[in-house]
Structure 1
């Protein structure tokens, strides 16, 4: 599972999803839905059960976003995030009848993973709770750049979670490595100590230099 967010401190954050038993039940319900006749009472009951599970998952994700964004807004004076086009990233790949899309099933799976991670909602709530302290950084090459030596190479991103620099051999969690690149890019935007923070933060606290990357 891709991380919902990674911090330059090394912390990995993941939004909650359905439990394994709930996922298994959802799969069973989807199979029943495929077999149920259109317009039948059985089909209606199955769709209602599926909707309840999806609402449960959405509610958990929203609750996680609220708690996580409050915690981050209190802990960090500057919060750097990748300037990602979430709407564009989750656009359907079906295409049209004249020009059908490619790898539609894979793209649909990626879209679900992006939405389930709560990226967009987390950034929106951070912008509300840490107004003026959220810095958006160009995401280009953040995943391919070694934070240890600065070398840029697509081959260094070994997998979703592993980064191994082809130049100096530095190894790290891929998202954490990218988070530290985002931190370094945004460091010039760090604010001076302020007289107080939203949500009851401590007064005249020294600014935290470790920044957040939302992926």
Structure 2
């Protein structure tokens, strides 16, 4: 038998607080308070064990019992990493629902962002290895789940905003210009000086 439990929505503080969540690759999510939330990776000892297991897998004969044992051990390590990521997202989603009455996030299309750069046989892609690494980073950050869980916990209180030109728009005067972004970390408006 399967039972479904539908939980009550997490109540907001009732203060009209609005929190904007910026999602990234190096940092899973950044809050306006300066908090940086990262998906927890494997510990150093687990990473070493994974590397050893992958080397063992490469040496194991196909179809052997040893190969099956090594694959199960690798799967257990990967499952532990996924469980930690899901746990962090659950806790973050609950925290965001409790802290604010409205949470805004950029409406990024993750499927489009992680599309392959391989190209075709006639027109091969460029920087394919770098793009594959970027795709792994985007998917490992749990960006989609980071939006879905707060939506489940606080229905109707999560707003998706258009992400276009947000890094080039001045918060004070509202003008959009590419030259405002001096670097990834520094923004200076050429019109109002903000």
TM bracket, shorter-chain basis: 0.7 to 0.9
User: What is the 5 A alignment of 1:9-158?
Assistant: 9-147=33-171, 152-153=177-178, 156=181, 158=183
Q: TM-score scaled by structure 2?
A: 0.74
Question: In structure 1, what is the Cα distance between the partners aligned to 2:68 and 2:180?
Answer: 49
Deviation of 1:99 (Å):
4.4
Deviation of 1:157 (Å):
5.5
Gap regions ≥5 residues in structure 2: 1-24
Gap regions ≥5 residues in structure 1: 171-215
Question: In structure 1, what is the Cα distance between the partners aligned to 2:90 and 2:186?
Answer: 30
Partner SS, residue 186 of structure 2: strand
CA shift in 2, pair 1:43/1:97, >3 Å: farther
Question: In structure 1, what is the Cα distance between the partners aligned to 2:70 and 2:182?
Answer: 42
* C-alpha RMSD of the superposition: 2.5
By relative contact order (CA 8 Å, sep 6+), the higher-ranking structure is 1
Q: TM-score scaled by structure 1?
A: 0.67
Deviation of 1:48 (Å):
1.6
Query: How many residue pairs end up in the alignment?
Result: 168
Per-residue CA deviations over 1:170-192 (Å, capped at 9, x if unaligned) read 6xxxxxxxxxxxxxxxxxxxxxx
